[in-house]
Amino acid sequence: MSDKVKILTVFGTRPEAIKMAPLVKEIEKNSDTLDSVVCVTAQHRQMLDQVLELFDIKPDFDLDIMKNNQNLWSLTSDVLLKTKEVIEKVQPDIVLVHGDTTTSMAAALSAFYAKVPIGHVEAGLRTFDKYYPFPEEINRVFVDSLSTYFFAPTDKSCQNLINSQLPSKHIYKTGNTVIDALLYTVNNHSEEIEGLKLKSDLKTVLLTSHRRENFGEPIKNICSAVLELVQNNKNIQVVYPVHPNPNVQKPVFELLDNKERIHLIKPLEYAAFCNLMKKSHIILTDSGGVQEEAPSLGKPVLVLRDTTERPEAVEYGTVKLVGTDKNKIITNVQLLLDDENEYKKMAEAVNPYGDGLASKRIVDILKQIKA
Ligand code: UD1
Ligand code: UDP
C-alpha cells in the first residue's frame, strides 16, 4: 500500500473549477506525498472547459453529463451513479468537493455511501433560508453534514459549522481559494475581450445574473432597471456576459438585445472576466464568486439578492444587498453614479475572503491525513 494520500477531487461547474484549480495545482506540486486524481462531472461544459484550459488541468475522468436545460433530478442521479464508478475504481483516501452545487452534493453523497471521508472546500457558508439560494443552501448544509474535513474560508463560516454541532476537530480556517485563483490570474494574464468595443470615456457597469430564484419576474426587473439607467445616464455603458442557461438567455435577449450602450456577450473566459472587473466602475451581480472577488479589486458591488451567505464584505461596506426591485436597483446605482463620497466609501479594496494562500493551507492539512 502506498504511503501517499490519494485525493480524488470532483467538480463540475465554472465556479467550482475556478476555486478548485489552484488547489489541484498545489496538490500536483506535492506529488511526493500526495496522489492527485481529478474527476470533472461537466455539469457545465463550455464554461468548465474554459477554466480547465486556463489552468492547464487535464482531468483523469470526464463524466460529460451536461444536457441542455437540465433539471436537478437527472443531474443529481447522473452525478451519483457516475461518481460511484469512479470512486470504486480510484479507491481514494479522501474525496474533495467544493461549495454548494448539485455536483458537490451528489458526489459527496456518493463518497459517503462508499464510506470514503469527504473534505469540503468552502465549508460553512449559510443564509439560514432553505430556499435562498435554491438549491444551494440545502446542498451546502448537506455536504457539511456528510464531511469529515471542513475547509472554511472565514471566521464566520467556521462559527457556522461549530454552531451546527459538527465535530470541531477538523474545522480549519483556510481563506477562500477564489483569492488564490484571482491573484494568480490577474498577475499572470491580461487578456483583452475579443470583439467587445467599449468606449473609454464611458463608465462601465458590469452585470451578471443567473440564480434560479431570479428566474421569471426578478430577472425581467433587473433588465428593466438596467435599461432605464442607461437611458437616464448617457455616460454609462453596461456589459453583461449572459449565462448560457436558457432561463436566463431568453428574457435577457428579449429585453436588452440591440440596445444602445448595452453589450450582451458570451460568458467570458476567467482571465478576460477579471480584466473586465478591473476596468468596471460598478458591478451588479447575483453571483457568489463575484461578491468575493470584486472587493479585492476595490469595486463596489450591488448584489441582486435579498440574502447572502457572504456577509463579510457587506460588513466592510464594499458590498450592498439591493435585491431585485426595479426602483431599488435604479436608486442604488444612481447614488453611486452621482455621489462621489458614497462611491469612495464602497470602492475601498478589502480582502475579507483570503490572502491567496488558502490552497497551501489545505494541502498542509491533507498531507497529515495518513500521518
Ligand atoms: C449551476 C449551479 C449554481 C452555480 C452556477 C454557476 C446547481 C444546482 N447550480 O447553476 O449553484 O451558481 O452553476 O454558474 O448546481 N449551460 C450551457 N453551457 C455551460 C453551462 C451551462 O449550455 O457551460 C446551460 C445548459 O443548458 C444547462 C443550463 O445552462 O442545462 C443550466 O446549467 P446548471 O448547471 O444546471 O445550472 P446553473 O444555473 O448553471
Ligand atoms: N466568471 C467568468 N466569466 C464570466 C462571468 C463570471 O469567469 O463571464 C467567473 C467569476 O469571476 C467568478 C465565477 O465565474 O469567479 C462565478 O461564477 P458564477 O457566477 O457562474 O457562479 P457562482 O459564484 O454564483 O456560484
**18-73 pLDDT per residue, tens:** 999 999 999 999 999 999 999 999 999 999 999 999 999 999 999 999 999 999 99
Ligand 1 near 71 CB (within 6 A): no
pLDDT value for 189: 85
List for the chain the helix, strand, coil content (%; round to 5).
Answer: 50, 15, 35
Q: What is the DSSP string of 130-173?
A: TTSSTTHHHHHHHHHHH-SEEEESSHHHHHHHHHTT--GGGEEE
Whether pLDDT at 140 is above 70: yes
**242-263 pLDDT per residue, tens:** 999 999 999 999 999 999 999 9
- For a mutational test of ligand 2's pocket, the pick from 19, 194, 208, 269, i.e. the residue with the most ligand atoms closer than 8 A to its C-beta, is 208
CA dihedral sign, ordered 253, 254, 258, 259? negative
Which residues lie closer than 8 Å to 99 by C-beta, 6 or more apart? 15, 16, 19, 121, 122, 125, 136, 140, 288
- For a mutational test of ligand 1's pocket, the pick from 10, 43, 139, i.e. the residue with the most ligand atoms closer than 8 A to its C-beta, is 43
**218-244 pLDDT per residue, tens:** 999 999 999 999 999 999 999 999 999
Q: Supply φ then ψ for residue 233, to 5 degrees.
A: -130, 100
pLDDT value for 56: 97
pLDDT value for 1: 64
pTM here?
A: 0.98
Ligand 1 near 143 CB (within 6 A): no
Domains parsed from the chain with CATH numbers: 5-176+355-366 (3.40.50.2000), 203-347 (3.40.50.2000)
